[in-house]
Chains A and B, each alone.
Chain A
Amino acid sequence: MSATVEIKTNVVILFAGDSGDGIQLTGSQFTGTSALYGNDISTFPNFPAEIRAPQGTTAGVSGFQVHFGSVEIFTAGDVCDVLVVMNAAALKANLQQLKPGGIIIANIDGFDVKNLKLAKYPTAVNPLLDDSLRGYEVYQIDVTKITRTALSKSGLGTKEMDRSKNMFVLGYLYWLYNRSLENTIEFLKLKFKKRPELIEANISVLKAGYNYGDTIEAPMVRFDVKPAPVEKGVYRNIMGNQATALGLIAAAQKSGLTLFYGTYPITPASDILHELSKHKNFGVKTFQAEDEIAAITSAIGASFGGSLAVTASSGPGIALKGEAIGLALMLELPLLILNVQRGGPSTGLPTKTEQADLLQAFYGRNGESPVPIIASYSPSDCFNTVFEACRIALEFMTPVFFLSDGYIANGSEPWKFPKAEELQDLTISFAKNKLKTGEKFLPYKRNEKLVREWAIPGTKGLEHRLGGIEKENETGNISYDPQNHELMVKIRQEKVDKIADFIPLQLIDNGNAKGKLLILGWGSTYGSIKTAVKMCIAAGYDVSHAHLKYLNPFPRNLGTILSNFETILIPEINNGQLIKVIRDKFMVDAKGLNKIQGMPFTSIEIQKKIKEVLK
């Protein structure tokens, strides 16, 4: 019986299963294929902290949400249209995410007595058999059985056969959304290059999934989501951490400096290290240090030697780096500090997202220690933002904070990437030998931007000493003079403040430049705010959206923008951090909208608040 085809503008699918079920791979394959097809896309992987959390339990559920459409997509979606569950726990943990009337694709084998018990359903209750799911469309498929049948002649053991289950599901979804298998087949050929029998097995299960859609005798609907009318150009799909790594390499190439990346493994920042380690042929030097402190101090050593030095971590690691960040700003050496934020405090929620390290970036050090802060707002934006962070570090001889978070880092979206030649030239000049001019080299003599020269070892005549002890203005010699200390504190502050003259003015992303309500966001809330404001404007509400990338210093015109609105609303995935800084700096009675659940905002949550404020 042939299926009817229904056209959809956008669809959200949530793949869920045990963390060993290959959910992330299934989701990212579906994403890659849809991106190639031309849909606009946003994804959100959501996985447990443990690599193999207790099997079959709700704690061990791994999820991958993909939102794709023939229209512009800004978030991974508030609720899902399709929920794919490999077991009972996956259903239990995610059912509230499914919209009424949504589709559930369930692997029957994952709903046996054992799995139901692990998922803590009451004895004798099976949601697939009672009518608790009557508000949804449920497709029950015995994925395990069909997969094993498809591989009966493969010679593989049962365990190995079962590992291909995710390919069956993927194949079935490719059928449901009318997608080509080609991209995934190519991927499998590459992934299992050394095990041809697994290439064959996975492809045959993938095809079995696709064919299952064609052959089952059920009144099925297939869906078609046309390519999105996006700007002409060449695109790729990219994740935030990947974009960050590429941005760093680009900045190294454009500055002609060696990239040194000193880091210590930590979720969710480690993927930047993994990506950079693959590109040694760009002269990239990655250094997996013994701890967070060595990670940053090795980078400080590299910076002293004239490299583009970067260290990265997440909140707990940044806390450990605090003293060394102070050293870098005291030495006035360029250094990039990447913080891929996660839920805190302490170990907090390692695999969940949060924006709660903004105040740490502002104030998390001893003494008067201003550090420029810049935040990216989407996966692909990490490229431009980290590149810009490098520019500021090099141009102003200062440590710079680059903030990302778990949502951006692991999320992905299509990216209309730039050509290398379009990127800004970051060439810097080191201090030159001054022996010929007879001029005495003064390490802390400054230019009109209050920036000192970068004098690297190996340059004759520039021998000098730097240190963390307060230094005399210009000479850099140790000084405990009270007046000098005050002067140096003021100079270091003014130097950072002056950066405001060399960054773009703040723009209004959407809506009028004057009005009743401004939503002021920063970082990964961009997509949800963008979607919410768009809907509200369409519904006739007087609301605008501005999104901050530069957090310290703020753009010069931010005060004027804020003064043009009756109410300022600041949504944050924290307990209210930017709002404190804005109130302090501009004396504005801004309102907060805060969510602290390790999850991004849904646009519905923001819309609700907008409507409440404008009531």
Chain B
Amino acid sequence: MTQQESTYSVSGNTNSELLPKDFVTDQEIRWCPGCGDYSILKQVQTVMPELGLKREDIVFISGIGCSSRFPYYMETFGMHSIHGRATAIASGLKATRPELSVWIVTGDGDALSIGGNHLIHLLRRNFDVNILLFNNEIYGLTKGQYSPTSPVGKVAKSTPLGSIAHPFNPLALCMGADATFIARTMDRDPVHLREILKQGNQHKGTSLIEIYQNCNVFNDGAFEVFTEKGTKKINTLFLEHSKPLVFGENGNMGIKLDGLKPIVVKLSDVSMNDLWVHDQADQIKATILTRFFNKPSAENPLPRPFGVFYKEDRFCYEDAMNKQIEDDIKNKGNGNLDELIEGKNSWTIK
């Protein structure tokens, strides 16, 4: 029995019985061996059955890039579109089919370079969709040019003397566009990744999830200080709502706010009560958190935060769009085509 056939037999059952394998397609996966995308795909397929969604109501839309092959590997509805436009395609789909669960899979080039305009406008409109932004700080599919998130000095095929373009801070950019859900996670932490996916799905509005993803061919180890055992604890800060900002080996470090300035403190010197307590609903503090972005090698580095930075309830475009239609029908009645065509100033020739 082929995989395709087994999939179909399962979908005849109720959705609660869906398993991760029911989200696997018969397509051979074409990512390079060792690519971080495999882990992300696995976690998405693992989480899907837990979301309470019907498989036929799920749509994955992508643009162009390595990450954008994703829909072909998900046994849901899917569209692998053109470079940078997945966000705009998803907007049109969600505007007309608000009941669908729409997932956008994109990369740093796709979302932040060629598709930057659509991303910020999707965020401000707050369509209820989920964006998985695979950030590997490189162009992989086109074989190794620097990307809008590559650090200055990055030596890549198009920048043999090093990149001279200041990179985007993706989450700060998204906060600037008034996103209503912002989170960061990584390919190398499956448990955290699954948790963030679930939270993103639960959020009503656009959920922007940045996923640090390793491109082991063109940019290997870009995030290793955050993802590898030896350095992870000292360089990362895992955010939890209502919990103080604690990190470091054995959780011996914390973040304190001195006015608007975050400072790293040792817990041996400062009481737990004096630490910054994470509040997902605080937009200003979330903005400061997105600015925890200096290099671990910098002087007085701040740890890189992971988790949900910010979450806000704000109306979704598709709901407001439907509301206007409902109200107009309430006020004027259902449109009558004959009256519309005739207009208000017709005349009769006898």
Contacts and interface: CB of A to CB of B under 8 A. Distances in A.
B61 interface: yes
Most central of B12, B89, B328, B343 by chain A CB within 10 Å? B89
A346 interface: no
B72 A297 contact: no
Contacts of A262: 92
Contact of A464 (B77, B96, B118, B347): B77
Contact of B92 (A232, A233, A234, A300): A300
A250 B337 contact: yes
A38 B347 CA distance: 8
Interface in A201-234: 227, 230-234
Most central of B12, B61, B341, B348 by chain A CB within 10 Å? B341
Given A260-B96, A281-B329, A477 B81 contact: no
A431 to B, nearest CB: 12
Contacts of B93: 301-302, 304-305, 457
A585 interface: no
Interface stretch (A283-291, A510-518, A545-553, A563-571): A283-291
B1 interface: no
B342 A309 contact: no
A279 B340 contact: yes
A234 B350 CA distance: 9
Interface stretch (A12-20, A132-140, A413-421): A413-421
A234 B337 contact: no
A447 to B, nearest CB: 22
Interface size class of A (residues with CB under 8 A): 35 or more
Contacts of A227: 349
Given A249-B337, A281-B332, A458-B97, A297 B349 contact: no
Nearest to A439: B8
Contacts of A236: 342-343, 345-347
Interface stretch (B49-57, B245-253, B277-285, B294-302): B49-57
Nearest to B337: A420
Given A232-B349, A236-B345, A457 B337 contact: no
A293 interface: yes
Contacts of B82: 297, 323-324, 327, 468
Contacts of A463: 11, 55-56, 75-78
Contact of B54 (A35, A289, A301, A460): A460
Nearest to B344: A236
A459 interface: yes
Contacts of B11: 435, 460-461, 463
A217 B221 CA distance: 95
A467 B80 contact: yes
Contacts of A238: 343
A467 B343 CA distance: 42
A435 B79 contact: no
A478 interface: yes
Contacts of B76: 463
Contacts of B107: none
A300 B89 contact: yes
Interface in A52-86: none
Contacts of B54: 460
B268 interface: no
Most central of A36, A306, A327, A467 by chain B CB within 10 Å? A467
Contact of B79 (A232, A246, A249, A465): A465
B335 A282 contact: yes
A280 B324 contact: yes
A528 B302 CA distance: 74
Contacts of B78: 463-466
A270 interface: no
Contacts of B329: 280-281, 283
Contacts of A297: 81-82, 85, 88-89, 92, 118
Given A230-B349, A304-B89, A309-B92, A294 B117 contact: yes
Contacts of A462: 56, 77
Contact of A440 (B4, B95, B348): B4
A307 B80 contact: no
Given A457-B57, A468-B81, A469-B80, A418 B341 contact: yes
A578 interface: no
B25 interface: yes
Nearest to B5: A440
B16 interface: no
A342 to B, nearest CB: 24
B259 interface: no
Contact of B117 (A290, A306, A440): A290
B155 to A, nearest CB: 31
Contact of B91 (A282, A294, A383, A420): A294
A253 interface: yes
Contact of A477 (B27, B59, B91, B325): B27
A466 B332 contact: no
Interface string B54-75: 1111110100100000011011
Nearest to A307: B96
A331 interface: yes
Contacts of A42: none
Contacts of A469: 80
B198 interface: no
A457 B321 contact: no
Interface in A447-501: 456-469, 477-478
A458 B55 CA distance: 8
B129 to A, nearest CB: 10
A467 B325 contact: no
Contacts of A306: 96-97
Interface string B156-196: 00000000000000000000000000000000000000000
B42 interface: no
Nearest to B15: A460
Contacts of B345: 32, 35-36, 183, 236-237
Given A281-B334, A324-B85, A463-B56, A235 B347 contact: yes
Contact of A285 (B12, B95, B338): B95
A497 to B, nearest CB: 26
A593 B11 CA distance: 63
B121 interface: yes
A327 B61 CA distance: 13
Given A235-B349, A236-B343, A466 B79 contact: yes
B123 to A, nearest CB: 11
A298 interface: yes
A235 B324 CA distance: 32
B57 A285 contact: no
Given A302-B95, A307-B96, A458-B56, A281 B79 contact: no
A249 B336 CA distance: 10
A317 to B, nearest CB: 14
A239 B55 CA distance: 47
B90 interface: yes
B88 A294 contact: yes
A100 B349 CA distance: 35
A284 B93 CA distance: 14
B292 to A, nearest CB: 30
Contacts of B94: 301
Most central of A309, A462, A466 by chain B CB within 10 Å? A466
A258 interface: yes
A374 interface: no
B92 A301 contact: yes
26 contacts: A38-B349, A234-B349, A235-B349, A246-B340, A246-B341, A250-B337, A250-B341, A260-B96, A280-B324, A287-B91, A289-B121, A294-B91, A294-B118, A300-B81, A300-B92, A304-B93, A305-B92, A331-B79, A417-B341, A457-B57, A463-B76, A465-B74, A465-B77, A467-B79, A467-B81, A477-B72
Given A36-B345, A294-B85, 10 more contacts: A232-B350, A237-B345, A250-B341, A258-B96, A281-B331, A290-B117, A297-B82, A303-B92, A457-B58, A465-B77
Q: What are the 4 closest A-B residue pairs judged by CB atoms, nearest first?
A: A301-B92, A298-B92, A467-B80, A282-B335
